[in-house]
Amino acid sequence: MEQPVQTETWKARSLEELIRILHQIFAEDKVSVDEVQALMESYESNPEEWLQYAKFDQYRYTRNLVDNGNGKFNLMILCWGEGHGSSIHDHTDSHCFMKILQGNLKETLFEWPEKKGNGEMTKKSERVLRENQCAYINDSIGLHRVENISHTEPAVSLHLYSPPFNTCNTFDQRTGHKHKVTMTFYSQFGERTVC
Amino acid sequence: LPAGLSQWFPALEVLDVSGTGLTEMGTELLSLPCLHTLLAKNNRLGGPGSLPKGLEQAPLARSLRVLNLSGNRFSEVPPALLQLRGLRSLSLGGNRLHGIPPDIQELHSLEFLYLGGNFITSIPPELAKLPSLRYLVLCDNKIQSIPPQLAQLHSLRSLSLHNNLLTYLPREILNLVHLDELSLRGNPLVVRFVRDLTYNPPSLQELAGRTIKTRNVPYAPSDLPESLVRYLSLASNCPNPKCGGVYFDSCVRQIKFVDFCGKYRLPLMHYLCSPECSSPYSSASQSSTSQSESDSEDEASVAAHRMQKVLLG
């Protein structure tokens, strides 16, 4: 993605409209990160529009595919039960946008571990993202861990990844050692994916 | 709760009174024979009267399956709660609990137990007597050690221990073959092998106990005081296959690092009956990748005269 000369200011009035505009934006050769982030943030979360994709699992967070962007991006909804969190991970050279649809998520940023990787990983910063906020990350910014730190409220987030990817590396916070993992979808287009 | 609730809605199955500022739930609950789900999170429950008296006899004790009391002010698990024998799912996340009562084992149908975000410092071994427990959340507490008996939770699929005060885990945790999820981040887990350890020589009672067990000396409950019968039942087997011995309280502690689930290198505490024993590698560590790493640090037996302080225990 590179910065084009002009960026539009979009307002997505529904999830359907958000997807439509995303298709429009990604049809171009050049896409602006700021534009996509502002568009995602402009959508005011309306549970009625996304409840069909929000399938929770008792044991861990779930990834539910909403749209596959004609191969240009993956749009998915992640459902986080109380206390659910991800490992520290990278984004396989892709862009990652994360918008909160319900509840709150804590994002902790980490530096990439040294090549030798034998010490505790360095925390860069942390923040709690509120409803409708949209965060952005890519590998040049760093690595992150995302978690629902609430013990009483589930959380739901909308993620856009471009280009789409299904493998990434997870990192052990204590040692910096990495481990490649394949990600799967708990559901696709509202239908539970049978393993 | 509004009076007459059970008269107006006798067939009520799900009741959600979350976020209503409730300080107690009264006898209205007792006459709801079909109630299987009660959600009362984010209230002001925790004092006496939070749960109604006479719960034991009420139909609720058998019908209730799901109880969510997260985000309240409980400083202890109310004894009345342990009467809910049919309970499958219990959440007390985000309260003020300092411990877990051993009588938690009364909830023998429990599958899901959420205790994250409290002030719990230790786990009673009785928790392991819940045969159907699949999901156990203990994150964000002050837990310093996990009792080895927890490995008896054969159904456990997910164990959440992140953000506690754990420095090691018991090696028995490797027996949890169905465990898919294990979170340990935010614990001060030791990263280096601990070779030095203390060894408290066994007491006479322990030596007698060991002899009875290893030589299979027969005894009946009528032969001994109840306390000694109980003591003898707590014998643990030395993991050294060549030893075949048992120990009670006096044992040698040794930390070994073992690969778990192919991902984590965990410091596991091995208990050996004497310094002459060396613990075998567990089946999990016998995979080729981890063996060489732990081999270099883990030598066979440790000299009995090593008396330097061990940092755990």
pLDDT in tens, A151-164: 999 999 999 999 99
Q: Is B135 on the interface with A (CB under 8 A)?
A: yes
Q: How confident is the model at residue B302 (pLDDT cuts 50, 70, 90)?
A: very low
Tokens (6 digits) for A51: 């409840």
Residue B226: the pLDDT is 87
Nearest-Cα distance to chain A for B154, in Å, is: 16
Give residues with Cβ within 8 angstroms of B238, minimum separation 6. Answer: B244, B245, B246, B247, B271, B272, B273, B277
Q: Least CA distance to A119: which residue of chain B? A: B191
Integer Rg of chain B from CA:
23
- Report chain A residues whose CB lies below 8 A from the CB of B139: 83
**C-alpha to C-alpha distance for B233 and B246, rounded to whole angstroms:** 11
Query: What is the bridge-based pairing of β-strands A134-137 and B66-68?
Result: unpaired
What is the 3-class SS of B42-85, one letter each residue?
A: CCCCCCCCCCCCCCCCCCHHHHCCEEECCCCCCCCCCHHHHHCC
Taking an 8 Å cut-off on Cβ atoms, the answer to whether A174 and B191 are in contact is yes
Read off the pLDDT of each residue in B91-101 and give the average, rounded to a whole number: 97
Tokens (6 digits) for B141: 């507490």
Residue scoring higher pLDDT (B297 or A86): A86
pTM above 0.90, yes or no: no
- Report chain B residues whose CB lies below 8 A from the CB of A150: 94
pLDDT in tens, B66-89: 999 999 999 999 999 999 999 999
pLDDT reading at B298 higher than 80: no
Of the candidates B244, B257, B264, the residue with the CA atom closest to the CA atom of residue B171: B257
- Report chain B residues whose CB lies below 8 A from the CB of A126: none
- Report chain A residues whose CB lies below 8 A from the CB of B73: none
Report the residue of A88, A143, A151, A170 to disrupt the B interface, i.e. the one with the largest count of B CBs within 10 Å: A151
Of the candidates A150, A33, A155, A165, the residue with the CA atom closest to the CA atom of residue A103: A155
Question: Which of A4-8, A129-133, B9-13, B215-219 shows the lowest per-residue confidence on average (mean pLDDT)?
Answer: A4-8
Q: How confident is the model at residue B235 (pLDDT cuts 50, 70, 90)?
A: confident
pLDDT reading at B256 higher than 80: no
Give residues with Cβ within 8 angstroms of B186, minimum separation 6. Answer: B162, B163, B164
Contact residues, B window 11-70, toward A, CB-based 8 Å cutoff: 41-42, 70
Provide DSSP, A115-170: SS--SPPPEEEEEEEPTT-EEEE-TTT-EEEEE---SS--EEEEEEEES--SEEEE
User: What are A181's strand-pairing partners?
Assistant: A168
Q: Is B219 on the interface with A (CB under 8 A)?
A: no
Residue A177, marked binder: no
Given CA atoms A66, A68, A69, A73 in this order, what sign does their dihedral have? positive
Q: What is the mean pLDDT of chain B?
A: 80
Taking an 8 Å cut-off on Cβ atoms, the answer to whether A60 and B71 are in contact is no
Residue type, position A5, single letter: V
Residue A23, marked binder: no
**C-alpha to C-alpha distance for A131 and A67, rounded to whole angstroms:** 21
**C-alpha to C-alpha distance for A113 and A90, rounded to whole angstroms:** 11
Report the residue of A146, A152, A170 to disrupt the B interface, i.e. the one with the largest count of B CBs within 10 Å: A152
Domain boundaries, chain B: 5-192
Tokens (6 digits) for B158: 């997910």
Point out the residue among B112, B160, B264 whose CB comes nearest to the CB of A83.
B160
Q: How confident is the model at residue A148 (pLDDT cuts 50, 70, 90)?
A: very high
Residue B295: the pLDDT is 32
pLDDT in tens, A99-125: 999 999 999 999 999 876 567 889 999
Q: How confident is the model at residue B132 (pLDDT cuts 50, 70, 90)?
A: very high
Taking an 8 Å cut-off on Cβ atoms, the answer to whether A60 and B41 are in contact is no
Taking an 8 Å cut-off on Cβ atoms, the answer to whether A151 and B140 are in contact is yes
pLDDT in tens, A164-177: 999 999 888 878 88
pLDDT reading at B288 higher than 90: no
pLDDT reading at A188 higher than 80: yes
Question: Which of A21-35, A135-149, B184-198, B225-239 shows the lowest per-residue confidence on average (mean pLDDT)?
Answer: B184-198
Q: Least CA distance to B138: which residue of chain A? A: A83
Query: A85: which DSSP letter?
Result: B
Residue B194: the pLDDT is 55
Report the residue of A56, A57, A82 to disrupt the B interface, i.e. the one with the largest count of B CBs within 10 Å: A82
Which structural domains are found in chain A, ordered by start?
15-185 (2.60.120.10)
pLDDT in tens, A63-103: 999 999 989 999 999 999 999 999 899 999 999 999 999 99
User: How many other β-carbons are positioned within 10 Å of the β-carbon of residue B46?
Assistant: 18
Residue B234: the pLDDT is 77
Cβ atoms of B104 and B130 closer than 8 Å: yes
pLDDT reading at B267 higher than 90: no
User: What are A52's strand-pairing partners?
Assistant: none
- What class has domain B5-192? alpha beta
Strands of chain A, DSSP E: 62-67, 74-80, 88-89, 95-102, 105-110, 123-129, 134-137, 143-147, 155-162, 167-171, 178-182, 187-188, 191-192
Cβ atoms of A144 and A137 closer than 8 Å: yes
